[in-house]
Structure 1
Amino acid sequence: MARAATTSDAFNAVAEPRRREILDALAGGERPVNDLVDLLDLAQPHVSRHLRVLRAVGVVDVRGEGRQRLYRLNPQALKPIHDWVAGYRHLWEERLDALEDVLEDLKEQENQEKD
């Protein structure tokens, strides 16, 4: 089966670790491409290529300010990923609840041994 294009949806676009790093950086607010280049320690053409993919799926927006282009996160475009992950939330909650029970039992045993 052929792999889906990275520009087909947000899932494919954020599958690449460097793109997730860009999203993490943009979560703090707008940044010019040169800030992202410095932060990620990547060549400017590589950062621009990743930004193009993220823009193509709508995860990142850009606006001009003078001679600079400022990139910002469009969190609404990540909603399909959020919704998909939310379907697994109950599994994590069950596991965390079970862990909490085990920790409480261990704490009780420790207290009983001290007495």
Structure 2
Amino acid sequence: MNTLLTAFSALSDSTRFSIVEQLMENGELPAGELIDGKGMSGAAISRHLKVLREAGLIQQRVQGTQRMYSVQPEGLRAIAEWTISKRQFWESSLDRLGDILERENSWPT
């Protein structure tokens, strides 16, 4: 559960969320491309990347002089599995709400 909390905490920041989305859409990217359009220094992006790595959401590898980043599937899988496990709760809650609304709409006015 602690790993899941760390992952959600890391993704609660819009910059980090954006980085993960960018990596999911484009695949592995060098750090320099992750900075583009963010209006941040390399040091600031580095701190965000460190938080994401420590949360197990991304991984880093060295290629020559570049640091390459990609999504860590296991970290995102944990979030997906947790979300799916809550599906029954939401479905039954929405069913109950639907029943209540249906009863209210059938009352004479």
Deviation string, structure 1 residues 24-68 (Cα, Å, up to 9, x no partner): 111121111110111323221111000000111221111111111
- Per the TM alignment, residue 83 of structure 1 is displaced from its structure 2 partner at its CA by 1.9
Kindly indicate which of the two structures has a greater share of residues assigned to helix: 2
Could you say which residue in structure 2 is the equivalent of 1:78?
76
Equivalence for 1:35: 33
Aligned residues: 91
Q: CA deviation at 1:84?
A: 2.2
Instruction: Specify every segment of 5 or more residues in structure 1 that has no aligned partner in the other structure, as ranges.
Output: 1-7, 99-115
Which residue of 1 is the match for residue 19 of structure 2? Answer: 22
Once residues 78 and 29 of structure 2 are traced to their aligned partners in structure 1, the CA distance between those partners, rounded to angstroms, is 24
Opposite residue 47 of structure 2, the aligned amino acid is: R
Q: Which runs of 5+ in 2 are unaligned?
A: 99-109
| TM-score w.r.t. length of structure 2 | 0.70
1:41-52 paired onto structure 2 within 5 Å? 41-52=39-50
Kindly name which structure, 1 or 2, has the bigger radius of gyration based on alpha carbons: 1
Q: CA RMSD in A?
A: 2.5
